[in-house]
Structure 1
Amino acid sequence: MNVSKLALIHHPSFIIAPATRSSSFKNVINEFQQIIRAYRKTDFSQRKAALATVVGLSGSGYRRPGARMYITDDGQWIGAISGGCLEGDALRKAREVMQTRQARLVTYDTSDPEGENFGIGLGCNGVLDVLIQSIDPNDSKNPLETLDRVMQDRRPLIFETALPDGAGVFVEELKPDIQLLVFGGGYDAVPLVKLAKQIGWRVVITDDCVAHLQPRRFGEADDMLAVQRHEIRQQIPIDAYSAAVLISHNFKYDKAVLQELLQTEIPYIGLLGPKKRGDALLDDVRDFVAPTDERRLFWPVGLDVGADNPQEIALSILAEIQAVFRKSSAQPLKFKNAPIHQPVQSISTSVDLT
């Protein structure tokens, strides 16, 4: 991705400058949706709140830069900055920040097996930098309000946060959620929709038969759209963060949908059914297939995990989509002779912001 083309969000408390860049952004937006919901429900006439953000990591760690934790002064929190070991200490420090309203940068050394620094032995072999900020809904510098606004626009962006005491600038790339487009409202689409929503994706279920789109079956979907097959490009918003799964069991419908999708920028098109059926579909729409299209076509859809029933098939499909969008091999981690995640640089280096 060409970062220079991404939107830059200018904010009074956010400054553009050379700084550490987080290279891992998995589920940044998904988890952030939960934080925004909790923030919106907070009664600030009765409560105070803070936001803890992982802004640096040296070595290994359970959470990566960009992970967030929303904390209220009654001891409640949403999100996480670790596997559960640092949240208690972060809560205590967040309460101090709520009182002083001064942002604080905290460093946790989890490589100490005895946990002498803060009373717990993690043995994670990493040093974690966490920024804790007080949250005021009436403050124009409120990062939650800013991020909530930019989340509504489904484009990647670079978000830069000035750290306290001249410690530098935290730079992160935020990407939209995966949007799953399910074409066909049959019984096997139900677990696909439910599981995708549990992951945190945006889900659209569509069919050209209104009777197939029953709210009691697909109530968790973000949208249920009765769209005629020749109006898909006009009626359904499709972007570079969308994945389509054709699951109707209707050859003519799938053919028409595939023809429409091939004329969009969608990076993933999955075809349910045996390989011969997929081959036949592609033969019928060959005039719309460019030489580079086969890399975004997946048939039969899903990973080979021995799936048999609709629930297992849904797991297989979503795992493949996740791997494609994250550019992962989808191989067992036991065979990976390298760290699970790409290493990221610590933000400890001071940056001149003048």
Structure 2
Amino acid sequence: MPVGGARAVLEASVAALQRGTAATLAVVLETSGSTYVRAGALALFDGEGAQVGWLSGGCLEPEIAQRANDASRAGQVDFMEIDTRFDEDLLSGSAVGCRGRLRIALLPLALLGDWIAHVEAWREGEPLRLGVHDDGTVELAYAANESTHRLPAAAPPWPDAQSRWSITVQAAPSVIVFGAGPETPFLLPMLRAFGATTTLVERRPRWSGAGALADHAPALTPTQALVAPMRRFDVALVMHHNFELDREALHALATSPIGFIGLLGPVRRRDDLFRVLPGDVREALLPRLHSPVGLHLGGSGPESIALSIAAQLQRHLHGTPA
């Protein structure tokens, strides 16, 4: 099951270091104009030709990969600027289709001795803070833990370089799903591809195999799953296709701090569930409940339902207004 986003890059960086593969992290420091990504975007390049993460539609990556490999071999931080904002690029036939500028730092990860520890903390839900100085100093931090690495560096090639850039990689979104069903084989891989971590809570033998699609699959009750020593959850989805199991999950979620609770099924099903839930539970759920969960995209069947739910979560998690 592939993963995407910052999660894919950071997990690949740990795997490369554990294999002993030379790996260079490309960090976008600044952008202007029309660019494929914004400041804070990450990509990983290694000496074996592998790449994880994209900083363009594919047109800029060969040049970045070459510079990343050079930085790794030289054992120093490198800075590069890619500027495609000018008409001359269009007239000469060298334009890549975007009129923008990227300023990038290339960090050989072998020089950051505690990089894996910082990524592990990020996996547990801590934001990863990264400071890059124009003299090659790299600061890593999570929670109250900080480290400073003074590395050899080539000076930034642009004249107006600032002395320090600060990047924060937010923790991967965490989604807990109560109940497997026909949508699960499509929804869980899709959420992972967007970079989320997924937990499936399912006790029915019929759906036991669906746990292989999630990062975690505890055979617990909803109450047990919500108090287990796991990371906090950003989103909860209730989708058992079973009235009593959905009621049990909603009852448990009423006292949780989860800000987005999605309930699969029509409005009539929600109303029937609310009739059997206590009043205080209904009041606790209502401000956070999205029912029916999913955007109205059209189509029918489990594939379309999974896509509609994933689309709504993408909008919710990235702050796009409805």
Structure-2-length-normalised TM-score = 0.81
Write 1 or 2 for the structure with the bigger share of helix: 2
Letter in 2 for 1:303: L
Give the one of 170, 176, 198 matched to 1:181. Answer: 176
CA contact (8 A) 1:302 1:317 kept: yes
Residues 237 and 261 (structure 1), Cα distance of their counterparts in 2 relative to 1, 3 Å cut: farther
Secondary structure of the 2:213 match is coil
1:228 aligns with 2:205: no
Pair 1:156 & 2:133 matched: no
Q: Is 1:252 the equivalent of 2:247?
A: no
CA deviation vs aligned residue, 1:119-174 (integer Å, no higher than 9, x gap): 831242211101012232xx4x3474354133133133543222334742221222
**Alpha carbons of 1:103 and 1:230: their partners in 2 closer, same or farther (altered >3 Å)?**
closer
Q: Residues 236 and 315 of structure 1: is their aligned pair in 2 closer, same or farther, counting only changes over 3 Å?
A: farther
- CA offsets, 1:280-337, max 9 Å, x none? 323424212447x53321001100011310011001011111111112135xxxxxxx
- Structure 1 residues 300, 189: closer, same or farther in 2, change over 3 A? same
User: RMSD over aligned Cα, in angstroms?
Assistant: 2.6
Cα gap change, 1:187/1:73 in structure 2, threshold over 3 Å: closer, same or farther?
Answer: closer
Q: Say which is worse superposed, 107-116 or 169-178, in terms of deviation.
A: 107-116
Aligned with 2:206 (options 209, 212, 236): 212
**1:53 and 1:237 mapped to 2: Cα distance?**
30
Who is 2:68 aligned against? 94
- Deviation of residue 34 (structure 1)? 4.6
2:178/2:222 contact within 8 Å kept: no
In the alignment, residue 80 of structure 1 is paired with which amino acid?
Answer: W
Point out which structure has higher relative CO (alpha carbons under 8 A, 6+ apart).
1
State the alpha-carbon separation in 2 of the partners of residues 201 and 106 from structure 1.
30
Unmatched tracts of structure 1, length 5 or more: 1-26, 331-354
Identity of aligned residues (%): 26
SS for the counterpart of 2:314 is helix
Structure 1 residue corresponding to 2:100, chosen from 126, 129, 134: 126
1:308 and 2:300 equivalent? Answer: yes
Q: 1:295 to 1:158 in 2, by over 3 A?
A: farther
Structure 2: gaps of 5 or more residues: 136-154, 156-160
Aligned pair in 2 of structure 1 residues 40, 282: CA closer, same or farther (>3 Å)?
Answer: farther
2:31 counterpart letter in structure 1: L
1: distance between equivalents of 2:263 and 2:6? Answer: 27
How many correspondences in the alignment?
293
- Is the Cα contact below 8 Å between 2:5 and 2:193 reproduced in 1? no
SS at match of 2:89: coil
Distance change (3 Å), C-alpha of 1:273 and 1:90? same
Other-structure match for 1:203: 198
Cα 1:285–1:83 shift into 2, 3 Å: farther
Could you say if the C-alpha distance between residues 312 and 41 of structure 1 is closer, same or farther in structure 2, counting changes exceeding 3 Å? farther
1:150 to 1:218, Cα distance in 2 relative to 1, 3 A: closer
Q: 1:99 to 1:228 in 2, by over 3 A?
A: closer
Q: CA deviation at 1:238?
A: 5.9
Separation (CA, whole Å) in 2 of partners of 1:171 and 1:314: 36
Match of 2:146 in 1: none
SS of structure 1 residue aligned to 2:167: strand
Query: In structure 1, which of residues 193, 204, 215 is the aligned counterpart of residue 188 of structure 2?
Result: 193
User: SS in structure 2 opposite 1:160?
Assistant: strand
Give the one of 279, 282, 286 matched to 1:286: 279
Residue in 2 that maps onto 1:32: 9
Instruction: Indicate the residue corresponding to 1:263 in structure 2.
Output: 255
Distance 1:198 1:125 in 2: 28
Q: Which SS does the other structure have where 1:248 is aligned?
A: coil
Q: What CA distance in whole angstroms lies between the structure 2 residues aligned with 1:157 and 1:177?
A: 11
Which of 34, 39, 48 lines up with 1:65 in the alignment? 39
Q: Structure 1 residues 70 and 144 mapped into 2: Cα distance closer, same or farther (>3 Å)? A: farther
The answer (yes or no) to whether the contact 1:55–1:129 under 8 Å persists in 2 is yes
Structure 2: distance between partners of 1:296 and 1:327: 15
**CA separation of 1:271 and 1:238: change in aligned 2, threshold 3 A:** farther
Contact 1:97–1:132 (Cα < 8 Å) also in 2: yes
Query: Residue type of the partner of 2:248?
Result: A
- State the TM-score, normalized to the length of structure 1: 0.74
